Amino acid sequence: MSKIKETHNYAYDPHYVKRFDSDWIFSYNDIFHNDPKVKYFGESSTIHCITETTIPRIIQDEINPKIIFVLRDPIERILSHYNWLKSLGLVKKEFFKEIKDSINVPFDPNKNLNGNYKSYIEFSKYATFIKRWIDAFNRENVLIITTEELSSDYFNTINTCFDFLKLPQLDEIKIVRENVTTLNKQKISGKSISSLSKKILKSLFPNSLEQSGKPKSGGKHILAIEERKWLQNFLFSEVETLEIIIGRELTEWSNFKNNGNSTH
- In this predicted model, what pLDDT tens digit does every residue of 16-57 receive, in sequence order? 999 999 899 999 989 987 788 888 999 999 999 999 999 999
- pLDDT tens profile 148-174: 999 999 999 999 999 999 999 988 877
Whole-number pLDDT of residue 206: 40
- Residues 84/198, Cβ–Cβ less than 8 Å: no
Q: Helix %, strand %, coil % for the chain, to 5?
A: 40, 10, 50
Amino acid residing at 179: N
- Residues 210/192, Cβ–Cβ less than 8 Å: no
pTM surpassing 0.85?
A: no
Judge residue 5's burial from the number of C-beta atoms within 10 Å of its C-beta, 0-12 exposed, 13-18 middle, 19 or more buried.
buried
Count of C-beta atoms within a 10 Å radius of residue 3: 12
Domains of the chain: 13-260 (3.40.50.300)
Low-confidence spans in the chain with pLDDT less than 50 = 178-217, 259-260
Helix, strand, or coil (residue 228): helix
Question: Angle at the Cα of 262 (from 75 to 78), degrees rounded to 5?
Answer: 5
Q: Give the list of residues 6+ apart from residue 245 with CB closer than 8 angstroms, or none.
A: 127, 130, 131, 134, 144
Whole-number pLDDT of residue 177: 55
- pLDDT tens profile 83-92: 999 999 999 9
Whole-number pLDDT of residue 258: 59
Our CA dihedral for 146, 148, 150, 153, rounded to 10 degrees, sits at -120
User: Can you say whether the dihedral through the CA atoms of 34, 36, 37, 39 is positive or negative?
Assistant: positive
Helix, strand, or coil (residue 4): coil
